[in-house]
Structure 1
Amino acid sequence: MSTSMANFVEVTSSQQFEDLLKKTGKSLTVVHFSASWAPQCTQMNDVMAELAKDQPQVTFIKLEAEAVPEVSEKYEISSVPTFLFFKSCEKIDRLDGAHAPELTKKVQRLASSAAVPAGGAEPPKEDLNERLKKLINAAPCMLFMKGSPQEPRCGFSRQIVQILKDHNIQYSSFDILSDEEVRQGLKTYSNWPTYPQVYVNGELVGGLDIVKELAESGELENTCPKAVTLEHRLKSIINRSPVMLFMKGNKEVAKCGFSRQIIEVMNSTGVDYDTFDILQDEEVRQGLKTYSNWPTYPQLYVKGELIGGLDIVKELKESGELQSVLKGES
């Protein structure tokens, strides 16, 4: 496909990239960090070409992530495709993965917002409340804290993590130090000025003092959901779908070469499968190695049984058995 449109440019050096950003000034620039080996990048380039026709005032840049590493490293690009949005040489937004509708939406929104810099401050408020609502409801028990359960970044957070652990409470956490908008917004949203904060089923329970009181009175277990054992959790994830692949990344964006190769083999069979990204969940990543006595990833399960990793899947494909194994026939 030719990319001869004036506002659709391929960039091959960091100097060229910097120059282009300066040249585009206040108008929107969309940068696609891509890789020639990834079919989803090719698809997204086609999407960009269409958008370039519709949005002549927006500049679209295609950049081979591995060919211009200094730019990729500067903007922490760890997978392809990733899209960054710039105005006045500043990064204003980011989109990870091959989501054509989302890309189109962002381009339209950011291109049009150029016209209303002054009055454009109001709408995001609603977005923040929506975001907070989603975070609060992300798990039955949510802890908003400084740092992570593994590395709490303040004494109160450390104490609350210990109490939840001692009482075998299952919870997910959010590091408020990683997101100033959430940190400030949640105080207003819940009318609670300090951290940590614990929510159960979307309702604020309170901070450290209240959690301590609940623990002392024996009510904490009734307030918060009890932990499901790791083994039980692993079993339920393994059986989430008849064919489950545990990998680094997901179907759209594989985060390592072995995962990328196994996805290609799986896609070639036409059999439906689900994936689980072990990079998102350290507990599963470590626990599954012990559970299945298999030290590496990716790992493929069919109907709850471990088939093996990339080598075994390749062998099964070569011997023509993969199809029937995935369908649980042999």
Structure 2
Amino acid sequence: MAAGAAEAVATVVEVGSAQQFEEHLRLKAKSLLVVHFWAPWAPQCVQMNDVMAELAKEHPQVSFVKLEAEAVPEVSEKYEISSVPTFLFFKNSQKIDRLDGAHAPELTKKVQRHASSSSFPPSANECIKEDLNLRLKKLINAAPCMLFMKGTPQEPRCGFSKQMVEILHKHNIQFSSFDIFSDEEVRQGLKTYSNWPTYPQLYVSGELIGGLDIIKELEASQELDTICPKAPKLEERLKVLTNKASVMLFMKGNKQEAKCGFSKQILEILNSTSVEFETFDILEDEEVRQGLKVYSNWPTYPQLYVKGELVGGLDIVKELKENGELLPILRGEN
């Protein structure tokens, strides 16, 4: 009987509506809840569902849920799910961590860490601290100029972060960002790591420059432009990107891993032509994602370009294939 009960617990529950999700969040508030936002068309999601099933057996005290991202859009939008697979971690009905992508070792590590976080002996706590410091160092060095902020450059979630983004944009500074609301461990750990108690925090070449007040001082003394790397003008950058290869596809994901159904379909069509092409993952670069819509006057993705000229999206590519016109266009014969 006990074995059967344990087996019943060690499962991944499928949630099909926003109401079910909220109920599950409330009912499992006292335990760690791991939610997999997935899509049936993505093979990497199916693989990660298998990983989740194994983790459920190993951690019967943890609740595991899978939720089809495109079937419950209100939940996906609420938690800013822009690609699959994505994993969210909840404790006390609050999101405490996030993992984007099919990274089984990292998922395993995060489940182990959060499942045992309240009962680690001191020696294990020291190991976790060391792991966190390595992770923080990696994040700080993820780009030449890194901004740790509340929210994103598109949607800052505090006035200081908003002002910081405005200054960096005004000076055409190229930077990447990390939303400290997406990871409580990073949010608290970085304060200690850098000995800086508030956000936003700006790093250049892995070194802390400071918060908003210091950036304002550097701007006033005209030193900011010499410290931070400049971004090429967006229009010039888009022109270079659209001409990077004779056939360029701007999509969600890449050749190996499409992250939306439309991108997957257009990949299959292009692969069937045997024509060489390159891809650009618009989920990796918000500036390109938004800017290319204006540059090409085309509001959706994927977008296909041949010799720097927009061909169109999935519907147009499908029509061209049906009419026998796609291959000559891809070869530059039209």
After TM superposition, the score normalised by the length of structure 2 is 0.68
Which residues in structure 2 correspond to 1:207-246 (within 5 Å)?
A: 207-246=211-250
Q: Displacement, 1:201?
A: 1.9
- Provide Cα deviations, 1:276-318, integer angstroms capped at 9, x if missing partner: 3435544323321232233432211234332221122113323
CA RMSD of aligned residues (A): 4.7
Q: Does 1:118 align with 2:120?
A: yes
Tell me the distance in 2 between the aligned counterparts of 1:62 and 1:160.
Answer: 37
Tell me the distance in 2 between the aligned counterparts of 1:273 and 1:114.
Answer: 44
Q: Residue 141 of structure 2 contacts residue 206 of structure 2 at CA under 8 Å; is this kept in 1?
A: yes
Q: Which amino acid in the other structure matches residue 259 of structure 2?
A: A
- Pick closer, same or farther for the CA change 1:167–1:254 going to 2, 3 Å: closer
Tell me the distance in 1 between the aligned counterparts of 2:99 and 2:265.
Answer: 24
Which residue of structure 1 aligns with residue 68 of structure 2?
65
Which residue of structure 1 aligns with residue 3 of structure 2?
none
Deviation larger for 282-291 or 157-166: 157-166
- Provide Cα deviations, 1:36-77, integer angstroms capped at 9, x if missing partner: 4444445556x659x85x996567989573799599769957
Tell me the distance in 1 between the aligned counterparts of 2:220 and 2:209.
Answer: 15
Which residues in structure 2 correspond to 1:86-101 (within 5 Å)?
A: 95-97=99-101, 99=102
- Provide Cα deviations, 1:198-219, integer angstroms capped at 9, x if missing partner: 2222222223343233223322
- Pick closer, same or farther for the CA change 1:233–1:186 going to 2, 3 Å: same
Deviation larger for 158-167 or 221-230: 158-167
Deviation larger for 56-65 or 131-140: 56-65
Which residues in structure 2 correspond to 1:106-185 (within 5 Å)?
A: 106-107=107-108, 117-119=119-121, 120-185=124-189
Q: Displacement, 1:329?
A: 5.8
Tell me the distance in 2 between the aligned counterparts of 1:108 and 1:212.
Answer: 39
Q: Which amino acid in the other structure matches residue 315 of structure 2?
A: D
Tell me the distance in 2 between the aligned counterparts of 1:193 and 1:89.
Answer: 26
- Provide Cα deviations, 1:101-153, integer angstroms capped at 9, x if missing partner: x3266448857998995233332323322332233223322233344445544
Tell me the distance in 2 between the aligned counterparts of 1:188 and 1:162.
Answer: 27
**Percentage of pairs with the same residue:** 62
- Pick closer, same or farther for the CA change 1:11–1:241 going to 2, 3 Å: same
Which residue of structure 2 aligns with residue 259 of structure 1?
263
Tell me the distance in 2 between the aligned counterparts of 1:74 and 1:183.
Answer: 23
Which residues in structure 2 correspond to 1:7-26 (within 5 Å)?
A: none
Which residue of structure 2 aligns with residue 3 of structure 1?
none
After TM superposition, the score normalised by the length of structure 1 is 0.69
Q: Residue 34 of structure 1 contacts residue 62 of structure 1 at CA under 8 Å; is this kept in 2?
A: no
> Which residue of 193, 199, 202 corresponds with 1:198?
202
Count how many residue pairs are aligned between Structure 1 and Structure 2: 315
Q: Does 1:103 align with 2:104?
A: yes
Structure 1: gaps of 5 or more residues: 1-5
Q: Displacement, 1:230?
A: 0.8
Which residue of structure 2 aligns with residue 284 of structure 1?
288
Q: Which amino acid in the other structure matches residue 195 of structure 1?
A: Y
